[in-house]
A and B are shown apart, each in its own frame.
Chain A
Amino acid sequence: MSLTAGQPEDKSARASTVVGEPTGTEAETNQAVPEDIGAPERTPAVSEVSLTLASTKGSPVMGAPISVAAGAPLILGRRRWEFLYFALRNKKFMFGLTVEVVLVVLALLGPFIAPYNPNAFVGVPNQHPSLQHLMGTTYFGQDVFSQLLFGLRDSYLVGFLGALFASLVGMTVGFTAGYRGGLLDEVLQLFTNIIVMIPSLVLLIVIASYLKTRGVLFEGVFIGLTTWPWVARAVRAQTFTLRERDFVDLARLSGKRGSSIILKEIAPNMASYLFLVLILLFGSSILLAANFDFLGLGPTNTISLGTMMNQSMLWSALELHVWWWFIPPGVVITVLVAALLVANVGLDEVFNPKLRQT
Chain B
Amino acid sequence: MTRYFTRKLLTYILAFFVGTTVDWGIPRLMPGNPVEIYLSKFSLESNGAWQSLNKVFTKAFGLNVPVWRQYLNFWDGVIHGNFGVSYYDFPEPVTHVIRAAIPYTLALLVPAIVLSYVLGNRFGALAARRKALDDTVLPVGYVFQAMPYAWLALAMAYYLGASEHWFPIGGGYAEGMLPNASWSFVWSLVQHWFLPFLTVFLVSFGGWAIGMRNLVIYELETDYARYLRSLGASQRLVRKYAYRNAVLPQLSGLALALGVVIGGNIVTEVVFNYPGLGSLIYHAVIDEDYFLLQGIFLFIIFGVLIANFIIDIVYVLVDPRVRLSMQGARA
B300 touching A202 by the CB < 8 A rule?
Answer: yes
For A338, the chain B residues whose CB sits under 8 A away are: 142-143, 145-146
Q: How many A residues face the partner with a CB closer than 8 A?
A: 72
Given contacts A12-B252, A198-B22, A200-B263, contact A209 B11 (CB under 8 A): no
A334 touching B207 by the CB < 8 A rule?
Answer: no
A201 touching B252 by the CB < 8 A rule?
Answer: no
> Could you give, for residues 228-270 of chain A, a 1 whenever the CB lies within 8 Å of some chain B CB and a 0 otherwise?
0010000000000000000000000000000000000000000
| Count of chain A to chain B residue pairs whose CB atoms are closer than 8 Å in the complex | 249
B300 touching A209 by the CB < 8 A rule?
Answer: no
Given contacts A11-B321, A63-B210, A210-B31, contact A199 B253 (CB under 8 A): no
A327 to B153, CA, bound (A): 11
A201 touching B259 by the CB < 8 A rule?
Answer: yes
B151 touching A11 by the CB < 8 A rule?
Answer: no
For A206, the chain B residues whose CB sits under 8 A away are: 23, 26, 293-294, 297
A237 to B30, CA, bound (A): 36
For A62, the chain B residues whose CB sits under 8 A away are: 145, 203-204, 207-208, 211, 253, 257, 260-261
Given contacts A62-B260, A193-B15, A197-B15, contact A291 B304 (CB under 8 A): no
B3 touching A2 by the CB < 8 A rule?
Answer: yes
B169 touching A318 by the CB < 8 A rule?
Answer: yes
Asked if B103 lies at the interface with its beta carbon under 8 angstroms from chain A, I say: no
Smallest beta-carbon distance B194→chain A, Å? 17
Restricting to A27-73, which residues have a CB under 8 Å from any CB of B? 52-54, 57-58, 60-65, 67
Restricting to B241-293, which residues have a CB under 8 Å from any CB of A? 246, 248-253, 255-264, 266-267, 270-271, 281-282, 284-286, 288, 290, 293
Given contacts A64-B207, A194-B15, A230-B256, contact A210 B266 (CB under 8 A): no
Asked if A211 lies at the interface with its beta carbon under 8 angstroms from chain B, I say: yes
B322 touching A198 by the CB < 8 A rule?
Answer: no
> Could you give, for residues 283-307 of chain A, a 1 whenever the CB lies within 8 Å of some chain B CB and a 0 otherwise?
1000110110011110000000010
Nearest CB to that of B303 among chain A residues? A199
A193 to B248, CA, bound (A): 18
Smallest beta-carbon distance B132→chain A, Å? 15
Asked if B7 lies at the interface with its beta carbon under 8 angstroms from chain A, I say: yes
Nearest CB to that of A210 among chain B residues? B30
For B322, the chain A residues whose CB sits under 8 A away are: 8, 11
A211 touching B15 by the CB < 8 A rule?
Answer: no
- Selecting from B52-60, B64-72, B157-165, B173-181, the interface stretch reads B157-165
Asked if B188 lies at the interface with its beta carbon under 8 angstroms from chain A, I say: no
Restricting to A98-130, which residues have a CB under 8 Å from any CB of B? none
Given contacts A198-B301, A199-B263, contact A11 B248 (CB under 8 A): yes
Option from A57, A190, A210, A326 in Cβ contact (under 8 Å) with B249? A57
For B154, the chain A residues whose CB sits under 8 A away are: 309, 312-313, 318, 326, 330
Asked if A196 lies at the interface with its beta carbon under 8 angstroms from chain B, I say: yes
Asked if B32 lies at the interface with its beta carbon under 8 angstroms from chain A, I say: yes
> Which of B250, B267, B308 has the most CB atoms of chain A within a 10 A radius of its CB?
B267
- Selecting from B83-91, B213-221, B228-236, the interface stretch reads B213-221
Smallest beta-carbon distance A280→chain B, Å? 11
Nearest CB to that of B263 among chain A residues? A201
For A53, the chain B residues whose CB sits under 8 A away are: 214-215, 218, 249
Asked if A329 lies at the interface with its beta carbon under 8 angstroms from chain B, I say: yes
> Could you give, for residues 1-13 of chain A, a 1 whenever the CB lies within 8 Å of some chain B CB and a 0 otherwise?
0100111100110
B151 touching A295 by the CB < 8 A rule?
Answer: no
Asked if A84 lies at the interface with its beta carbon under 8 angstroms from chain B, I say: no
Option from A210, A297, A340 in Cβ contact (under 8 Å) with B32? A210
A190 to B208, CA, bound (A): 27
Nearest CB to that of B247 among chain A residues? A12
> Could you give, for residues 145-171 of chain A, a 1 whenever the CB lies within 8 Å of some chain B CB and a 0 otherwise?
000000000000000000000000000
A58 to B259, CA, bound (A): 10
What is the interface of chain A, defined by CB distance below 8 A to chain B?
A: 2, 5-8, 11-12, 14-15, 52-54, 57-58, 60-65, 67, 190, 193-194, 196-203, 205-212, 230, 283, 287-288, 290-291, 294-297, 306, 309, 312-313, 318-319, 321, 323, 326-327, 329-330, 333-338, 340-342, 354
What is the interface of chain B, defined by CB distance below 8 A to chain A?
A: 3-4, 7-8, 10-11, 14-15, 18-19, 22-23, 26-27, 30-32, 120, 142-143, 145-152, 154-155, 157-158, 161-163, 169, 203-204, 206-212, 214-215, 218-219, 221, 246, 248-253, 255-264, 266-267, 270-271, 281-282, 284-286, 288, 290, 293-294, 296-297, 300-301, 304-305, 308, 312, 315, 319, 321-322
Inter-chain pairs besides A63-B206, A201-B262, A202-B263, 12 sampled, C-beta below 8 Å = A5-B10, A15-B218, A54-B248, A57-B211, A196-B259, A199-B300, A201-B263, A283-B146, A287-B146, A294-B150, A309-B148, A330-B152
